[in-house]
A and B are shown apart, each in its own frame.
Chain A
Amino acid sequence: MRSTAETLAAPALEVRRLTASYSSRPVLWDVDATFPMGALSAIVGPNGAGKSTLLKAALGLIATDAGQALIQGRPVKTSRDRVAYVPQRDAVDWDFPITVREVVEMGRYAQIGWVRRVQRSDQTLVADCLERVGMAAYASRQIGQLSGGQRQRVFIARALAQQAQVMVMDEPFAGVDARTEADILGLLQELRNEGRAVIVVHHDLGTVRAAFDWVLLLNVRAIAAGPVADVLTPETLRRAYGAAGGLETEEQEPRWAA
C-alpha cells in the first residue's frame, strides 16, 4: 500500500518511451511525457500527430510496441478507478437507444458493479453531475435529440460521475459554440482547483496559452512538454507544425498560432 503523500507526489499521467503503430508506420515514437496533478494540461499537435492514439495507448485501449504509461505512479491496469476518459465525440453512435441519465450512469457502473442495482446514492450523484454541466433538464431525453454541445456536456458529466482524480479528454471543444466552450473550460478549471488533473487534447493554441497550465507538444515524437510559457515558443511550434502555415520570417509565429 502506498502512502497518500506518495500518491500525491506521483504525476497524474506519466508516459515512458512509448512507441505505438497501426500496421507498420509508427504513430507514436519514443514519447516521454509527464502531466502533473492539480493542473490543466493540453496535448497539442497537428492532425494525425497521434494525440488520440497517445490517450488510447496510455489507457491501455490499444496495444503498444514499447514503453509504458503510469497513472499516479501505477500501471493503468491497476488504477482504472483513478482515471476517467472522455472519447472523441464522433466515436459513438448517437442514434443509440439510451437516455442522457443512462449515459451518465455508465460512469458509475465500474464502482457499482456490472450486475448490482443502482443505489439511491448513485442516482443522486448522477443528478448532481448533470446539474454541474447544466443538463439537469435533459436527464430523460434521448441522446439523439441533443445538440453537439449538449452531447459533449453529457460526456463530461459521465466522466464526473466516475469521481476520478485524473480526467483525460479527447477534443472536448471540437465543434462546440463559444458559450459551451466557456462553460466547459470553467468547469475544467474548477476540477483543476479541486486538485485533480485534467488532460485535454485541444487545437486552439490561443485558449491553451490563456487558460492552460501545462502542455505537451506532439507530432509523432514529443517535441516539448512543460509549463505553457516555456513550451509554446515559435521554435517548438515550427518543429511541431512544420514551416507551412504562412510563416514569413523566422521570428514570426504561424498565423493560426497567434
Chain B
Amino acid sequence: MGSLIDLLPLAYPDAVVVVGAALLGMTAGALGVFAVLRERSLVGDALAHSALPGVAVAFLVTGAKDVGTLLAGAACAGIVGALMMVGIERTSRIRPDAAIGVVLSSFFSLGIVLLTYIASTNNANQAGLEKYLFGQAAGLLERDLIVMAILSAISLTLVALLFRALKTTLFDPNFAGSVGLPVRVLEVAMTALLVVAVIVGLRTVGAILMVAMLVVPTVAARQLAGRLAVVLPVSALIGAVVGVTGALLSARAELPTGPVIVLVGFLVVMACVLLAPGRGVIWRARKLARDRRRTLTEGVMVDIETAIHAGPPPTAAELALVSGRDPRVLRRVLRRLDREGMLARDGDRLHLSEIGAAAAHAVLERRNLWSAWLEHGWQLQLPDAREPNPSDLRASLGDHYADRLQALAVKES
C-alpha cells in the first residue's frame, strides 16, 4: 500500500485520499450493481443508515476511535439491520419498502441519539465521529486503507468466482433453483456484499449519502453497457473516477466529502442518461425527430404523386386542402423537397422531378409491401422468428420472401 501511495505524483495526504476514494468507488460501484439490478437500492440505503449506531456503540464499548474498530461495529449493525428487514418482511404483512423505511429511520435515529450522547459526555476522544454522517476523506490513515483494500479484494474476488451463479440468480431465480443453485444463500451473499461496500465507503462518504455511491455508478454503467459482464467493471471504473474526483475537490475546498462525491456522481449520471449512444435521451430524441421528419416528407411526396395521377398538378394550397396537412408544415416540407431537388415547379403548380418521382415510387412500393405483409405475412411461413422492420421490409425479409409477398398480394387483387 505504501509503495502505491508513493507512486502517485501527489502530496502524501492527497495520495491517501485518492487511494481511499478509488477503493471506495470501485467497491461500491461493482457491488452496488447487485442492489440496483435486484431493485434493492433502498436496502443499500437502509444498510448504510443502520451502520451509524454500530459506529457509536463500537466507540462506547471499546473507547477506541480507529477506523477498523468502528467499521467492525458498523458491519455488525448493518447485518442486524439486514436481518430485521428480512424478518419484518417474512413474518408480517408489511411490504418490503415499508420494512426498509422502518429499519432505516429507526436505526438512524438511534445513531443520532447515541452520537449526541457521546458528544455531551465531552470525551476528548469523541471528536470525529460526526465524520460518519457526511463523510470525510481527509485524515484517513494508511492502515485504514489496508483494511479497506483487503475488504474490497475479498469481495471482488468473490464476485468474480460467483459471477455466473450470481448472474443466473439475479436474472431468473426460479431457473437458478431448478438447476440446483442455492438461491437463498446467494441472495444472502449479495446482501452481505452490500454490507461490505457500505463499510468500505462509510468513513469517506458518510451514512446519509452512501446509497448514492451504490446506485450512481450502476445507473451510469447501465446506460453504456448491455451485458452484466461489462456493466460490472464499467460501474467499478465510474465509481472510482467519481470517488477520486469528488474526494480531491472536497479536500481542496474543505467541504464534507460525501456531498461533493455525490454531486460529481450526479453530473456523470446526467451525462450518461443524456448522451449515451442508443439508450441516451438525446440520442433517442434525435432518432425520433429524424423518423418523424422522414415519414412526413415521404407522405407529402406520395400526396403529390397521387394528386398528379388524379388530375392537374396541384398548387401548394390545393395540396394542403386535399391532404389535410397544416399549410405551414407543408410549406416547410416543400422547401426541403426543393432543396433536395425532388420538386419541379410549373408556376405555382407542383410536379415531382425525375428523382422525386423515383423516390415517391419507392415509398409507395414499400408501403404496399408492408400492407401485403400485414395481410399475407402468415402465408410466407418464414423459417425463423424474424420480425421485419416496417421501414425496410425488403432488406429484413430478403428478396425471396419480398417477391413472394408481392405475388401473394397481386393474386389477391
Using an 8 Å CB-CB cutoff, how does the interface string of B375-413 with A read, 1 for contact, 0 for none?
Answer: 000100011111100000000000000000000000000
Distance in Å from the Cβ of A140 to the closest Cβ of chain B? 9
Cα–Cα distance between A87 and B74 once the two chains are bound (Å): 39
- Whether A61 contacts B222 by the Cβ 8 Å rule is no
Distance in Å from the Cβ of A49 to the closest Cβ of chain B? 19
- Whether B178 contacts A97 by the Cβ 8 Å rule is no
- Interface residue ranges of B225-265 to A (CB < 8 Å): 225-228, 230-231
Instruction: Mark B residues whose CB is within 8 Å of A.
Output: 37, 39, 161-162, 164-165, 167-168, 170-172, 174-175, 177-181, 222, 225-228, 230-231, 378, 382-387
Cα–Cα distance between A110 and B383 once the two chains are bound (Å): 30
Kindly state whether residue A256 has any CB partner on chain B within 8 Å.
no
Kindly state whether residue A98 has any CB partner on chain B within 8 Å.
yes
- Interface residue ranges of A118-132 to B (CB < 8 Å): 131
Using an 8 Å CB-CB cutoff, how does the interface string of A107-147 with B read, 1 for contact, 0 for none?
Answer: 00110001100000000000000010111111000100001
A-B contact pairs, 9 of them (CB 8 A): A59-B178, A91-B174, A93-B37, A97-B231, A106-B168, A110-B180, A137-B384, A137-B386, A158-B175
| Residues from chain B with Cβ under 8 Å of A131 in the complex | 384
In the complex with contacts A59-B177, A60-B177, A96-B37, A180-B172 CB distance below 8 A: no
Kindly state whether residue A258 has any CB partner on chain B within 8 Å.
no
Kindly state whether residue A230 has any CB partner on chain B within 8 Å.
no
| Residues from chain B with Cβ under 8 Å of A183 in the complex | 385
| Residues from chain B with Cβ under 8 Å of A163 in the complex | none
- Whether A87 contacts B175 by the Cβ 8 Å rule is yes
| Residues from chain B with Cβ under 8 Å of A80 in the complex | 178-180
Q: Which of B37, B39, B227 has the most CB of A within 10 A?
A: B227
Kindly state whether residue A56 has any CB partner on chain B within 8 Å.
yes
Beta-carbon nearest neighbor of B380 in chain A: A179
Kindly state whether residue A68 has any CB partner on chain B within 8 Å.
no
In the complex with contacts A59-B177, A85-B178, A114-B164, A134-B383 CB distance below 8 A: yes
Kindly state whether residue A102 has any CB partner on chain B within 8 Å.
yes
Distance in Å from the Cβ of B392 to the closest Cβ of chain A? 15
Distance in Å from the Cβ of B355 to the closest Cβ of chain A? 33
